[in-house]
Amino acid sequence: MHYRKTLITMASSALLFGLGYGPAGEVFAENADAQSAVKPAIKAEVRLIAQSGEASAKAKAEQELKKFKNLIDLQQKALSEKFKPGEIRYVYINDKEYHASPSSTLFASNSYRITYKTYDEYAEKYAAGNTAMPLRLQQQPEGYNLWIAEIAPYLSEKEKAKISNQVIAEGKASGKKIYVKKLQEKRTAVHLIYNMTSEKNGKRGVLGIIAEPAGPNDKTVESEPVMAQSEKLEVGGQEVIYTPIDNMEYKSVAWMNPQTRVNYIIRETRGHLTKEAMLALAGQIIAHYS
């Protein structure tokens, strides 16, 4: 049995696969080229880059999908056309033979997003005037360089799952080979994505620092659920949840600001930051909005 995936470029999952970007701060949408199907607890922001070196698997998939090139080209064309602010776009290939291929994807999606290539530009052009969702650092993470800062429309994990099912059902019933579904979303999320400046033990870590809106009834951070090994700690008067997953070389710190209803998540995979360093990063963000 093969495990088929959903093709997405929403938020940082696309940039972790190295998609092209224009000048810093340019608003645009790029063709989908990333495969991502991860459990909510292990987010794409800090995992996919470690998986993207599977060149042989990618080559095999490309070979298998050659016969569907026309359909895939139409899908990518629909994903690359101009986006309106807040738009999220889903594209479904309605072809049974295509979906019978182990290398096919359930559907593809892309969204409007604003990107910055340097932290200073992000801080000056976006974060400086954003009091609703403050995400600022006094010092950049040691041993890391910012890869990209991205502001994109936000959907919760539950909302994504619901819309995914809708896209597939509507696409199958549409009678169209290429089915396009467009949504407008006012909520946004902020992603700061960092790469380690050098390898450690043959690995190069990735760090994601995220701010996203909490749901009206959420009691904890929906996109980073509490696990058996999670610890409740206090940083700067704020309760945070620290979660290590050693066999995946993953760790996170997550918390909700109850006043602003903003969730914050710091995620690192295959990196060098200690628990204390992760908590210190959380402390910088908490101190800024306190």
* pLDDT value for 213: 95
**Mode of pairing for the β-strands spanning 105-111 and 5-8:** parallel
For residue 2, is pLDDT > 90? no
| Count of structural domains within the chain | 1
* pLDDT value for 202: 79
Q: What is the pLDDT of residues 125-168, one digit of tens each?
A: 988 877 788 899 999 999 999 999 999 999 999 999 999 999 99
For residue 24, is pLDDT > 70? no
Which pTM was predicted? 0.78
Which range among 8-12, 166-170, 196-200 has the greatest average pLDDT?
166-170
What does the DSSP assignment read for 218-259?
-SS-TTS---TT-EEEEETTEEEEEEEEGGGTEEEEEEEETT
- What are the helix (H) ranges across 65-188? 69-80, 96-99, 119-125, 157-173
The band of 290, judged by pLDDT with boundaries at 50, 70 and 90, is low
Its domain, for residue 135, covers 5-289
* pLDDT value for 16: 37
240 with 279: CB under 8 angstroms?
yes
Residue with tokens 């409740």: 232
* pLDDT value for 60: 72
- From the list 90, 255, 83, 78, the residue with the least C-alpha distance to 160 is 90
**Cα–Cα distance, 121 to 123 (Å, whole number):** 5
Residues 6+ apart with CB under 8 A from 233: 239, 240, 241, 242, 279
**Average pLDDT of the chain to the nearest whole number:** 82
* pLDDT value for 20: 28
199 with 50: CB under 8 angstroms?
no
Residues 6+ apart with CB under 8 A from 268: 46, 205, 206, 207, 208, 250, 251, 252, 278
Residues 6+ apart with CB under 8 A from 209: 135, 137, 191, 192, 194, 264, 265, 266, 267, 281, 285
Q: What is the pLDDT of residues 79-114, one digit of tens each?
A: 999 999 999 999 999 999 999 988 889 999 999 999
